[in-house]
Amino acid sequence: MTFDLAIVGSGFGGALLAMVARRLGKSVLLLEQGSHPRFAIGESTSPLMNLLIEEIAHTYDLPRLLPLATYGAWKTHYPELGVGLKRGFTYYGMQPDEHLLVAASPGDACADTHWLRADVDHFLVKEALALGVVYYDNTPLTRHERLGGLWHLNEHTTHFLVDATGPGKLWSEDVGFDNYPKTEAFYSHFVGVKPAGLISGKLPYPPDTAASHYVFPGGWMWILPFDNGVTSAGFAVESWLADELELAGKRHGAWSRFLARFPAIQAQFCDAQPIEKWYYAPKLSYRAQNVVGDGYLRLPSAAGFIDPLYSTGMPLTLLGIQRIAALIKHDKLHSPELLAYYEAQTFAELDWVAEFIGANYASFADFPRFVDTTMFYFAAASFSELARRTGRSDLAKGYLLTKNVAFRANFHAWQQNKLSLTDAIAPWNAVGLADKSKNNLYGVDLEDVAKSAAKLEKTEAEMRKIIATADWAQC
């Protein structure tokens, strides 16, 4: 049998694209070198990512995806799948008073989630199988070549190939990102992690029911708790700090050496034990030389990866799936012009994310500067989310406003001290960010949203009506 489409790699992106392609009436082959369930990094969602899941579910008649978009629906419909509650983004510096909390939802029911990827990826593969996807696991590619207008993948043939394997696994070239620091990562899953307990008082959400982060000179750490008592944790650091921690040559004891540098983190992990093997990424970032070619393309996750900070990988992949789905729907997978446009979009978003996260690395040693840098992420992300929620998705130009020339120009002007932070983000600040009176504690204040209606090309009355009737505003 010759398939319309073959997808190599059955992680979250590959399995989801296979489901969409089947709904579009295509025969789909899904090949996997390993098997499920398995550990995978990329475990934290965001409001924009969950909106994209909802859009894909509605557009391509995949209703069983919908409960994955909010914590409350997940717990109701799929209690057997590992999940964690993510009410927002929590950040700590190295001094006692250094913190930043940014809420992502007004309550638990509509909150974001942490994905136990071993469970979720396996669930998505089974969903793909139920839709008629032909799936082979434990199947490394011993042959993949293009002959006579077809791809030959082992004993299978296909008209078109999608690389969903992850950075550099199917084609291994890496041209890197311009002016981006060399970074490495070390991580695992743990039990026995304590709450941080570093701040108290009137807070927008319990600080540990979040994606928690510590930032320090040379890198940062993530802590993602799941409901089953497991916590995902690890750190990403620049090469000079990785060398001091002896990650490359002496990984045994590297975690202890890391904790010894940071007493607050050490206190949180004093009784913690890893339940997975240690994972080490000697080169964290990756940028492919190309995204498309003769009869193939790559998902954004295979075209490049920057860093786990801000959980950018999964929404980038979902945007890629939406774009690929449009090509499939209109039988344009073999259009050179449209494939080139897909490549340009993919690289533009990857390069912008790399530039922005590179600026974060440069600010890690100065927590107030880091907080100010984050405001550009939260302004872009919340503006994009609200644009979609209010029927103005046309205002959200690319991931984190990649295509918005004014937004990026303002970011550069702020970096050069030519523009204040409040002025730089003002046209897109729809949620009351960069407000010193809030003491780095940002809850979901729908009054801020209502008063920012004009930024989303709505009247305040229109926005208040939307807020009064929207599920996302009432949970």
Whole-number pLDDT of residue 289: 94
Residue 376 lies in a domain: yes
Residue 63 lies in a domain: no
What CATH code is carried by the domain that includes residue 107?
3.30.9.100
Q: Same domain, yes or no, for 326 and 375?
A: no
Q: Same domain, yes or no, for 144 and 221?
A: no
Which of 284, 302, 317 corresponds to the end of one domain?
Answer: 284
Evaluate if residue 250 carries a pLDDT over 90. Answer: no
Strand partners, 189: 232
Q: Same domain, yes or no, for 274 and 332?
A: no
Q: Same domain, yes or no, for 324 and 470?
A: no
pLDDT in tens, 108-131: 999 999 999 999 999 999 999 999
Residue 77 lies in a domain: no
Q: Same domain, yes or no, for 93 and 126?
A: no
Whole-number pLDDT of residue 75: 98
What CATH code is carried by the domain that includes residue 338?
3.50.50.60
Backbone φ and ψ of 408, nearest 5°? -70, -35
Smallest Cα–Cα separation from 17: which of 146, 171, 161, 169?
161
- Say if strands 211-216 and 88-92 run parallel, antiparallel, or are unpaired: parallel
CA distances from 89 to 74, 99, 142, 413 (A): 20, 11, 43, 26
Q: Same domain, yes or no, for 125 and 110?
A: no
Encoding tokens for residue 453? 């209606």
d(CA 437, CA 448): 14
pLDDT in tens, 404-432: 999 999 999 999 999 999 999 999 999 99
Residues 147, 294 contacting (CB under 8 angstroms): no
Whose tokens are 């309550």? That residue is 107
Residue 248 lies in a domain: yes
Q: Same domain, yes or no, for 427 and 465?
A: yes
Q: Same domain, yes or no, for 107 and 123?
A: no
pLDDT band per the 50, 70, 90 thresholds, residue 166: confident
Whole-number pLDDT of residue 354: 98
Q: Same domain, yes or no, for 310 and 192?
A: no
d(CA 472, CA 3): 40
Residue 154 lies in a domain: yes
Whole-number pLDDT of residue 472: 83
Residue 22 lies in a domain: yes
Q: Same domain, yes or no, for 135 and 246?
A: no
Q: Same domain, yes or no, for 35 and 131?
A: yes
Residues in the chain: 475
pLDDT in tens, 365-412: 999 999 999 999 999 999 999 999 999 999 998 999 999 999 999 999
Per-residue H/E/C for 167-186: CCCCCCCCCCCCCCCCEEEE
Residue 352 lies in a domain: no
Structural domain total, the chain: 3
Which of 284, 318, 335 corresponds to the end of one domain?
Answer: 284
Instruction: Indicate the DSSP class of residue 309.
Output: G
d(CA 400, CA 432): 18
Helices of type H across 215-365: 239-245, 254-261, 263-268, 300-303, 313-329, 336-363
CB atoms within 10 A of CB 260: 12
d(CA 232, CA 226): 8
| N- to C-terminal Cα separation, the chain | 49
Helix (H, G, I), strand (E, B) or coil at 299: coil
Residue 21 lies in a domain: yes
Helix (H, G, I), strand (E, B) or coil at 403: coil
Q: Same domain, yes or no, for 419 and 438?
A: yes
Q: Which residues constitute the domain of residue 404?
A: 366-474
d(CA 384, CA 392): 9
d(CA 121, CA 318): 14
